[in-house]
Chains A and B, each alone.
Chain A
Amino acid sequence: MIRAALVGLGKMGLSHLAILRTHPEIDVVAVCDTFGMLVNGLNKYTGLKTYNDFDEMLDKEPLDAVLIATPSRFHGAMVKQALDKNLHVFCEKPFCLDVAEGRELAGLARTKGVVSQVGYHYRFLGTFIEAKRLLASKLIGKVHHIRAEAYGPVVLRPKGMTWRSSKAEGGGCLYDYACHAIDLVSFLHAVPNRVEGTILNKVFSTDVDDEVYATFFFPDGATGQLAANWSDESFRKMSMQITIWGTNGRMRIDRQEIQIYLKEESDSSAGFRRGWNTHYTTELTEPVWYYLRGEEYSMQIDHFARCIKDRNHLPVSSFETALQTDIVLNKMIEDASIVRAIDDTNEGASPSRFKKVPKRGIAASFKRLLRRP
């Protein structure tokens, strides 16, 4: 049995806990949270051993693995503590708000030889797994553009009271929604190596972004666009869709179906015909031993357990892959601060007609205007 503990009993933490407790090879020996009422209730009604201090739990409990589902800003320090104790670590997404820290922790996990996983659960959805397989088989030819979209109803009013509405704590649509879309694009195609035109916009929030847009460039020459908006009430829950254009057609994927348009049938298109093809989640989903909200949540926990058992240090969603996603997120934040103004006085001088200008005050712009002949 894998002796595991969990810290952070928010929405994801409770969901993980329910799945962990039913896993035949995992023994949840303790949980930790600072919310006294919840911790006391769990202890009283489920018999779980509970702590309100993470250090104390790590010191007192003999563990093999720890699951971290606290607000994002605590991830780095808690992962470090767990790795220092040579524990296998499953950390909720996003991995680390600080890329340097994330890099160090990914390195440390590698050195220690422990399993490190991050909760990018879309990588465990039947439709996206199948899409990855089909893309690798070149079914739609050479990929030249990818569009990733994530919409949902999280912040619909101008107020917010949780850590998700605080920038310093890793809140915002970028860290909550966009990171999933970026991670999925990296999973399906490649990690973008350049980002431009990032928009981090507030709709209702005061401290964090509610909508995120960006253009990606991939090492193989393909391009991509991202749109994420967590202030969209027209969706009942988070909806993720990826559309991929290739030289031989188009593929559109969400959690429920894959729609493929093929220009021509080829050797790799076994089972697919010219024109439209649709495959549904009902055919693509592997059964799980326990279901709560979606197979993917159970599958990622089972994958973690299997990696520990098999001493497989390359899980599907590792610290390494999540670090790549963090790096893209960071590049986007940097990119969003660059102002690219259209400068009509300098036409022809810049090949793109867009010139990067540093952010300046209104007075500076006004002076520039006055200097014109």
Chain B
Amino acid sequence: MDRILFGDNQFFGVNHMSEEKARQQAARFQDLQAIIDVLDIVYEEGIRVFMCTTQDRMVDVCEHFRQQKHRYPGFKFYPCMPYAHKYANAVTEYGLLGALQRFLPSSSKFAAMWKGSVSVAKRDVEGIAQILIDSEMNMFRGLETPVIFLQNVVCDLLLGLGYKDGFRIFADHVRRKYNAEAGFITMNLPRLLDVLDELGVDNPIICSNINKIGFRMCGGIDLYEKTIATRKFRPIAMSVLASGALRPREAIEYVARQKKIESIVFGASSRANIKQTKQLINELSAAN
């Protein structure tokens, strides 16, 4: 994996610190071109991975990168799925079954089964999951997606429920169908790693909050540090700045000191911030 990954929260009105800032960002990036302009800067600065949720607006971003593929050699996407709000809102509006029906493509054999006999489908959770993954991946067709992530709400829901098979279903399907590695995003790193170890997932890619103040690092900062230092997995650090609670230098220094952290994902909206963050990561990674 690349050392530096570019994230997408700023584009889609996600800000864990301020609703007002989130709104301003959503307004700034409501036109596709505003997003593309920032991604162009990211590319010019030498960052080659865009780690993004599979929300509806990404359809147009992907279309741009497909059409202009010659301009972005080596550029890769790390999709994070599913975009949970899309499903949560649908469940509120249509109920669990209704939401599922809506998201299964009407041409699929399962859609037909729903209408006919639910009992046929009820045992095939794996089949339904595969169709949902495929429908999320459709927007990335023709683009490079070497790592595909299970997003944290679903990952941590499965983890809590004890639905361990879900992780295997996801990993198997993205490997077989997309020749990609599965990644897992979580707020509960040590607990997830225990389960992935138990399932025999070797050297998994896990993205989690890793920051100096221990913000949203369930199990505690000490256990995180120990887990990272001693266990076999490929850690990606997100929320390194703890949603802006930390100054960039001390934030990145903390992460760079932990040798086994493979990648750092960050988001920014201006050339200056993108440049500065990238330089800091390079400088502090070399120094540690």
Contacts and interface: CB of A to CB of B under 8 A. Distances in A.
Contacts, number: 132
A239 B19 contact: yes
Given A45-B165, A162-B92, 9 more contacts: A10-B96, A14-B161, A36-B122, A45-B163, A48-B162, A155-B93, A162-B93, A236-B14, A282-B243
A256 B95 contact: no
A273 interface: no
Nearest to B94: A161
B9 to A, nearest CB: 11
Q: For chain B, what secondary structure do more than half of its interface residues adopt (helix, strand, loop), or is it mixed?
A: helix
Contact of B191 (A22, A45, A287): A22
Interface residues of B, number: 53
Interface stretch (A102-110, A290-298, A321-329, A339-347): A290-298
B97 A154 contact: no
Contact of B92 (A36, A48, A154): A154
Interface residues of A, number: 50
B54 interface: no
Contacts of A22: 159-160, 188, 191
B19 A292 contact: no
Interface in A25-60: 35-38, 40-42, 44-48
Interface of A: 10-11, 14-15, 17-19, 21-22, 35-38, 40-42, 44-48, 153-155, 160-162, 164, 234, 236-237, 239, 241, 254-257, 280-283, 285, 287-293, 295
Interface in B196-250: 213-220, 242-245
20 contacts: A14-B161, A17-B161, A18-B156, A18-B159, A37-B121, A44-B123, A45-B125, A45-B164, A46-B164, A160-B93, A236-B22, A239-B19, A280-B243, A282-B242, A282-B243, A287-B218, A289-B219, A291-B216, A292-B157, A293-B153
A10 B153 CA distance: 15
A258 to B, nearest CB: 11
Nearest to B118: A37
A281 B17 contact: yes
Nearest to A282: B245
Nearest to A292: B156
Interface in B82-113: 85, 88-89, 91-98
